[in-house]
Chains A and B, each alone.
Chain A
């Protein structure tokens, strides 16, 4: 029983991180109908900037403090927000009216640029990561809850609540949902669609940075290719929940994290990475629009 609970807690903690990344895929898909393959690399950049800010630009990593971590986090999220803005502006906007395949190929190109540019800039070897103060794990009657996991839960739940609030209860969020349905009609309402698209990229990139920092805190190392697997899996999570659907991305992320952890725990950890792709195949066969995807009526 305790073992099962432990796997569930660990799975949800991983799943919350996938969910944060998946939100960026799904929101960008919502407004642009584009799979932003560079998204996983923005996640990497988030962790990498956290490493630079805490270990290179300051001595924070030697003696981590809670407020130091918050500061490092905000800095890294801000940098990634700017990078997301630039990626959309430079790489995708000029292709807005080009065939979809051109944007898709460009997305892969941007991803390579960040991965190999990253290896050049940051070096190809992994570096140790640590921005959180070290604390004992909480022991709840045999169930161990790591300090990092507590932070993962608190931060990701807070971010998802804020996002939910923005998307469903603000003027700009309403505009995002309108653009995701039909950008042309949205522009007839007076919505500046270019601005909304930029905003969406910034929002998604900030969440990806937060996910990168949490992931690197959980598995404490950073390297330029670290975004590959989590990026792919979060994409699967977004499809699982229904691409374009915000609550769906959250659900898909949590489900995927849980499934991975349960398979790794009860079966074999070498199957861990296969779970995501098995789930992708199943959902594409059973309900291609995703769990919460309502074929066409509900986007973003």
Chain B
């Protein structure tokens, strides 16, 4: 198979347990290079769990994850970052004890291309001017929304091939949320593949090439973003109609 036709990421029959809790039950889907794929679902459906399994934070009890044709079983998160697979976790996840600038530099921890890192830093400051003003400040002193901006800017500092984004709009004002979704579309157009988990189903489906609906740990519906936006069940369950 050539790189172009094989999916970038393939998840097959994934099962994850937290002790006795069966959080993922045979979830399957795949992502092609260059796509935005959205995962939607109710609270507790297993979205975050899926991302954690892909980034190596959790060990699946069954199933297979393939990235660029390679089985990811047993790989640690830091090894996956080196392969261009980055996960911006749910709930900010910035380091409050480090400065904003240190947080951003950690995003580029494995990169050695100093000049390009500096460029990306400037780009990040361009996207979120607030971060430049606060560069020397401890991240813990930022407001919730500013921390979320920092988390996103930091994820971009890794220049990932595949970016896993867990609820990037969490706690953000509507205008900022829209700006962030614009940024997601822009970086996707520039070549980054994105797996997006998002509560705001309207926005998530609106920018997705493909989307999957998770329900109690399984994929129950899939389609293009547009198809799902039109689907009556989806409109009822997730778009509040």
A residues whose Cβ falls under 8 Å from a Cβ of B: 171, 174-175, 177-178, 180-182, 184-193, 297-300
Q: Given contacts A188-B81, A188-B88, A190-B82, could you give 15 more A-B pairs where the C-beta distance is less than 8 Å?
A: A174-B102, A177-B95, A177-B97, A178-B98, A180-B97, A181-B96, A184-B57, A187-B77, A189-B81, A189-B107, A189-B158, A190-B81, A190-B110, A192-B76, A193-B78
Q: Which residues B123-167 have CB closer than 8 A to chain A?
A: 138, 140, 154, 158
B47 contacts A by Cβ under 8 Å:
no
Contact between B97 and A188 (Cβ–Cβ < 8 Å)?
Answer: no
A sample of 21 cross-chain residue pairs with beta-carbon separation below 8 angstroms, ordered by A number, consists of A174-B106, A175-B106, A177-B95, A177-B97, A177-B102, A178-B95, A178-B98, A180-B97, A181-B96, A184-B77, A185-B89, A187-B76, A187-B77, A188-B81, A188-B89, A189-B158, A190-B81, A190-B82, A192-B76, A297-B138, A300-B97
Q: State in angstroms the CA–CA spacing of A175 and B98 once bound together.
A: 10
Give the dominant DSSP class at A's interface: helix
* Chain A nearest Cβ from B150, distance in angstroms: 13
**CB-nearest residue of chain B relative to A184?**
B57
Contact between A188 and B86 (Cβ–Cβ < 8 Å)?
Answer: yes
Q: Which residues B92-108 have CB closer than 8 A to chain A?
A: 93, 95-98, 102, 105-107
Q: State in angstroms the CA–CA spacing of A187 and B78 once bound together.
A: 5
User: Which 9 A/B pairs are nearest by Cβ-Cβ distance?
Assistant: A190-B81, A190-B110, A187-B77, A190-B109, A189-B106, A185-B93, A297-B140, A189-B109, A181-B95
Q: State in angstroms the CA–CA spacing of A181 and B93 once bound together.
A: 10
Neighbouring A residues of B25 by C-beta, 8 Å: none
Name the residue among A175, A185, A193 with the largest chain B CB count within 10 angstroms.
A185
Q: State in angstroms the CA–CA spacing of A175 and B107 once bound together.
A: 11
Contact between B98 and A174 (Cβ–Cβ < 8 Å)?
Answer: yes
**CB-nearest residue of chain A relative to B77?**
A187
Contact between B97 and A181 (Cβ–Cβ < 8 Å)?
Answer: yes
B residues whose Cβ falls under 8 Å from a Cβ of A: 55, 57, 76-78, 81-82, 86-89, 93, 95-98, 102, 105-107, 109-110, 138, 140, 154, 158
Contact between A297 and B97 (Cβ–Cβ < 8 Å)?
Answer: yes
Neighbouring B residues of A187 by C-beta, 8 Å: 57, 76-78
**CB-nearest residue of chain A relative to B140?**
A297
Contact between A188 and B96 (Cβ–Cβ < 8 Å)?
Answer: no
* Chain B nearest Cβ from A232, distance in angstroms: 28
Q: State in angstroms the CA–CA spacing of A99 and B96 once bound together.
A: 26
Q: State in angstroms the CA–CA spacing of A180 and B81 once bound together.
A: 20
The 8 Å CB contact of B158, one of A177, A190, A298, A300, is A190
* Chain A nearest Cβ from B226, distance in angstroms: 32
Neighbouring A residues of B106 by C-beta, 8 Å: 174-175, 178, 186, 189, 191
* Chain A nearest Cβ from B185, distance in angstroms: 23
Q: State in angstroms the CA–CA spacing of A174 and B109 once bound together.
A: 10
Neighbouring B residues of A185 by C-beta, 8 Å: 89, 93, 95
Neighbouring B residues of A188 by C-beta, 8 Å: 55, 57, 77-78, 81, 86-89, 93
Contact between A299 and B97 (Cβ–Cβ < 8 Å)?
Answer: yes
* Chain A nearest Cβ from B53, distance in angstroms: 13
Neighbouring B residues of A182 by C-beta, 8 Å: 93, 95
